[in-house]
Chains A and B, each alone.
Chain A
Amino acid sequence: MSDYFEYVEKLFKNGEKRDPPLRGIKVLEMTHYIYGPTVGMVLARLGAEVVKVEPIGEGDRFRVGALWMRMFKKANLHYLVLNANKYSITLDARNAKAREILFKLASKVDVFVENLRAGLLDALGLGYAHLSKVNPRIIYVSCSGYGQYGPLSRAPSFDVSAQGIIGLAMKTGWPDVDEFYKLPDYFGDYFPAMVATAAVLAALYYRERTGKGQYIDATQAESLFRFFYDVTYLSLTGEEIGKTGNVDPLAIASGIFTTSDGRFVAIAIMDEEQLSALSKAMNVDLLGSYKGKLRTKECVSELNGLISKWASTKTLEEIMSCAKAYGFPAAPVLTDLDVYKDPWRWERGSTIEFEDRMYGKVHIPNLPIHLSATPPKVKWLGRPVGYHNRLVLKRWLGYTDEEIKKLEEEGVIGYWDQAPGMCPPDAWDIDNDPVFKGERDECE
């Protein structure tokens, strides 16, 4: 036991390493904002070769969506992370020649990811029906708010809209305050994106065994419904739980409490063993006094009152020592800055310093999915609009320099607008950049 953590650490740091798990898998994505791009991001971190298609000029509109509109070396760092390890190309889908190229690319890939309006790619001849005909092994994933069919399928969706339509946006807040808060940081995009990614991986595994591809209809709404236990509770009791502030209705007792040193601590008691552990720490027999009444609303609120009083007499450190000694769930409430600085994340490699060829040193998150033999890797950050046009056309489709030049002249492909979020950093010597010229790959 004593050396267990050391053993696991060694396994992760120095154990056997194998080829990236998705080496050889080719992915084409026509995506924007967060939902679709996250799917490609995860696959790319795991070794897939991902080509992202954007409109000429402005590209993915999320390129300008920087936090507080602050750019980093003329780029949106959030975009750069979401589109790390991807090849950025442009094709104007309104142009017939561009669609032809798209079709050629799509018929070569293993996975196709899109999160455009439901039905749009069908209309352009790039739907599942079209692509699976020439490429029956293709795994095609459409990401949308409410799905590719059904009465709501044409309704527009963003993270917050999906949260609203399934009743989730009314779940967060104080019961006595007439305000509702969405789940922040685009949980309504990121969580569904991870569900879509899992579906793609399951489909890849299935294809490996049977040779068959398939279509995946990924939705924000159905992903967000999955762990929304209120649905069943409402149908069972006729009662809507609604907002409960800091109380988790699934816990015996829970809350975010203020400590004697003015810090915030979260405590959640999920079972009786944990309640008796907390009893020892508080030196009162909570389990004995409330046995038989546990989990009723009255009991939850009385217990929370007692915990709140106790927590206000202890420092955060004292409470955490109790949690460790007796064994009940407790954690400090961190801020962004605490999360960023936390040495634990750096030690585990989920926060990393990365030196990019174009953007220099940045601190970014790696995937929090630690795989001992095939760890996810960041190889390069997002790139300016159309940056990999030449590289991809040459290497994937065998175009010559002359043919590419012609496509540029005809406006079939194109590059960035001279605007933040789309263009290279000011100091970047683009004319002498061999990757941009298609002469060598990012990591050659």
Chain B
Amino acid sequence: MSASKRDELFAKLFSPEGKPSALEGIKVVELSTSNLVGSMVGGLLRELGADVIRVEPPEGDPLHDVSPYGAKLKGLGIPYLIENAGKKVVRLDLEREEDRGELRKLLTSCDVVIDALKPGLLDSMNLGYRSISNENPKVIYVAISPYGHFSKKAEEMSNVPDSDLTAQAYNGYPSLIGNPSIRPIPLRAGIWAAWAMAAICAVTGVLVALYERSKSGKGQFVDIATHEALAAIHIYPIIAGFLFGRPRPQYGFLDYLLYPFGVYKTKDGYITIATPFDTDFRALLKLIKRWDLEPDWKYSIDRVTDDVNRIVELDREIRRELMKYSSEDLIKKSLSRGLMPEALRRLVGRPVIVKSYTLKEALGEKHWYVRRSILRVRVDDKEVLVPNSPFRMSETPGRMPVEKMFTQEVLTKEVLVAMTSTRSEERISDS
């Protein structure tokens, strides 16, 4: 099949037009005042079609203001708009008895509760899992907090609010990033890596619990600690400690497993290089005409060691050499090797070289618009770009409801009463 024919077929297969969503009919109540990671969890579930009701304080959620350097669109911060588009909002003052009653009705009639508040707070109002699950045994209660809802530390730290940066720190991430010969202090990852990982773990937990509930008819408690998830998913920090009994040194400009594997500067820009195998590395040497380095650095075991100083020697040579070429030139040379049959290519090797784009350059790629990876949204006289849902599913496509970004539905008391009078089993039969 030709590439264009294949493209056409797949574009059709994955078209979202007129298709259902995976979580249609699932009702989620999100409590995440001033804690964006809770909204990220609710945001992903919403993309899968769940009906998410967000509980906000009457005076408005401080999350409205959270945005890169405070940038706002129609009075709201960027993460708030992206994560909460398409959710319904109910304004409740949890200090008031009456409003707590309303919340209880919501919690006892929903399928999923997202608790991103201070651990134990809902329980202290008799609205935690132990009370809710009594009345609503099918409820899936997902808690997301810095240190979780059980363990001694969880209790001791329960008054410390969450942030991505502190979660990165406690997962040991910044200790790996950066170049100690330039600045010997830990360095933050430039996106919300720890929160993103914790949020997707929470979503995974909710989904598996929903699936299990369709067999057992029962819900359960899902506990996610943002200060725990990243390092456990990455595996390395734990097994490095077990195998070597000492911390890995800060190594941000190199990789612990492969060399080269990172960002490199060229004559006219930046590229990333990955050479997973010895043959790939040797192909790189040929490509930059430095075969003289081959005898000393032939094997991975030569190039990857805990002796940083040794690799720095090689790294300096490679960096100097790459500066002589344009990015395009290097990419073209590496790609020409991709045209060989697979078996032959394995023997002769190929470094995987692609451009390391600035964001502006990246967003210029046509690919994202062909696939609708990035959505264009008109806001007054401006066009704003919003990442689409990453759930590319042929039957139940994930959807980023950009059309609802500025039209938040606020539920009145009357609507709330009507909604909470039906229980989950009446809305969907999932067994």
Known: A153-B7, A212-B395. A72 touches B179 (CB 8 A): no
> Is B422 at the interface (CB under 8 A from chain A)?
no
A72: chain B residues at CB < 8 Å are 243
Query: From residue A174, how far is it (CB to closest CB) to chain B in Å?
Result: 6
Stretch at the interface among A283-291, A358-366, A386-394, A407-415: A358-366
Contact B190 A295 (CB under 8 A): no
Known: A198-B44, A340-B240. A152 touches B367 (CB 8 A): yes
| CA A328 to CA B44, docked complex, whole Å | 27
| CA A332 to CA B205, docked complex, whole Å | 27
Contact B183 A8 (CB under 8 A): no
Contact A372 B387 (CB under 8 A): no
> Is A398 at the interface (CB under 8 A from chain B)?
no
Contact B165 A266 (CB under 8 A): yes
Name which residue of chain B comes closest to A352, CB basis: B238
Residue of B166, B185, B240, B256 with most partner-chain A CB within 10 A = B166
B220: chain A residues at CB < 8 Å are 371-374
Contact B371 A149 (CB under 8 A): yes
Q: Which of B1, B159, B175 sits near A336, CB closer than 8 Å?
A: B175
CB contact list, B264-282 vs A, under 8 A? 265, 270-274, 276-277
Contact A256 B185 (CB under 8 A): yes
Contact A205 B71 (CB under 8 A): no
B363: chain A residues at CB < 8 Å are 167, 231, 234-235
Contact A205 B207 (CB under 8 A): yes
> Is B23 at the interface (CB under 8 A from chain A)?
yes
| CA A241 to CA B367, docked complex, whole Å | 23
Contact A9 B150 (CB under 8 A): yes
Query: From residue A379, how far is it (CB to closest CB) to chain B in Å?
Result: 17
B430: chain A residues at CB < 8 Å are 205, 208-209
Known: A206-B22, A235-B383, A371-B209. A67 touches B236 (CB 8 A): yes
Known: A158-B352, A266-B165. A348 touches B62 (CB 8 A): no
Contact B235 A195 (CB under 8 A): no
Contact B120 A1 (CB under 8 A): yes
Residue of A8, A212, A345 with most partner-chain B CB within 10 A = A8
Contact B149 A231 (CB under 8 A): no
Query: From residue B238, how far is it (CB to closest CB) to chain A in Å?
Result: 4
Query: From residue A178, how far is it (CB to closest CB) to chain B in Å?
Result: 7
Stretch at the interface among B90-98, B223-231, B288-296, B407-415: B223-231
Contact A187 B193 (CB under 8 A): yes
Q: Which of B120, B241, B300, B361 sits near A167, CB closer than 8 Å?
A: B361
Q: Which of A149, A201, A243, A348 sits near B204, CB closer than 8 Å?
A: A201
> Is B365 at the interface (CB under 8 A from chain A)?
yes
Q: Which of A184, A217, A267, A348 sits near B177, CB closer than 8 Å?
A: A184
Q: Which of A168, A185, A219, A372 sits near B221, CB closer than 8 Å?
A: A372
Could you mark each residue 263-281 of chain A with 1 if its beta carbon is under 8 Å from any beta carbon of chain B, else 0?
Answer: 0111110111110000000
Q: Which of B9, B11, B166, B362 sits near A329, CB closer than 8 Å?
A: B166
| CA A249 to CA B71, docked complex, whole Å | 10
> Is A426 at the interface (CB under 8 A from chain B)?
no
Query: From residue A189, how far is it (CB to closest CB) to chain B in Å?
Result: 10
B1: chain A residues at CB < 8 Å are 122
B56: chain A residues at CB < 8 Å are none
B370: chain A residues at CB < 8 Å are 149-151
> Is B419 at the interface (CB under 8 A from chain A)?
no
> Is B16 at the interface (CB under 8 A from chain A)?
no
A-B contact count (CB 8 A): 626
Query: From residue B71, how far is it (CB to closest CB) to chain A in Å?
Result: 6
Query: From residue A411, how far is it (CB to closest CB) to chain B in Å?
Result: 16
CB contact list, B180-221 vs A, under 8 A? 182-183, 185-193, 195-197, 199-205, 207-212, 214-216, 218, 220-221
> Is A65 at the interface (CB under 8 A from chain B)?
yes
> Is A191 at the interface (CB under 8 A from chain B)?
yes
Contact B234 A187 (CB under 8 A): yes
Name which residue of chain B comes closest to A11, CB basis: B221
Known: A190-B197, A250-B68. A164 touches B172 (CB 8 A): no
Contact A183 B189 (CB under 8 A): yes
| CA A294 to CA B147, docked complex, whole Å | 28
Could you mark each residue 115-158 of chain B with 1 if its beta carbon is under 8 Å from any beta carbon of chain A, else 0?
Answer: 00001100110001110000000000000001111111111111
> Is B417 at the interface (CB under 8 A from chain A)?
no
> Is A131 at the interface (CB under 8 A from chain B)?
no
Known: A167-B363, A250-B67, A336-B247. A69 touches B300 (CB 8 A): yes
| CA A114 to CA B390, docked complex, whole Å | 17
Query: From residue A184, how far is it (CB to closest CB) to chain B in Å?
Result: 5
Contact A22 B256 (CB under 8 A): no
Contact B10 A296 (CB under 8 A): no
Q: Which of A202, A204, A234, A365 sits near B23, CB closer than 8 Å?
A: A202
Q: Which of B171, B209, B245 sits near A337, CB closer than 8 Å?
A: B245
Known: A69-B300, A201-B207, A232-B78. A351 touches B232 (CB 8 A): yes
Could you mark each residue 356-379 of chain B with 1 if its beta carbon is under 8 Å from any beta carbon of chain A, else 0?
Answer: 111111110111101101100000
> Is A81 at the interface (CB under 8 A from chain B)?
yes
> Is B174 at the interface (CB under 8 A from chain A)?
yes
Contact A330 B160 (CB under 8 A): yes
Known: A61-B276, A250-B66, A294-B70. A230 touches B393 (CB 8 A): no
Q: What are 12 of the A-B contact pairs (CB < 8 Å)? A: A19-B215, A187-B234, A191-B196, A202-B23, A208-B430, A225-B373, A251-B163, A266-B169, A329-B146, A348-B225, A364-B238, A365-B235
Closest 4 CB pairs between A and B?
A340-B241, A295-B70, A171-B190, A167-B362
Besides A5-B120, A329-B163, A344-B152, 12 more A-B contacts (Cβ < 8 Å) are A78-B236, A148-B6, A155-B354, A181-B178, A225-B373, A227-B199, A229-B68, A258-B185, A264-B169, A333-B172, A334-B172, A336-B247
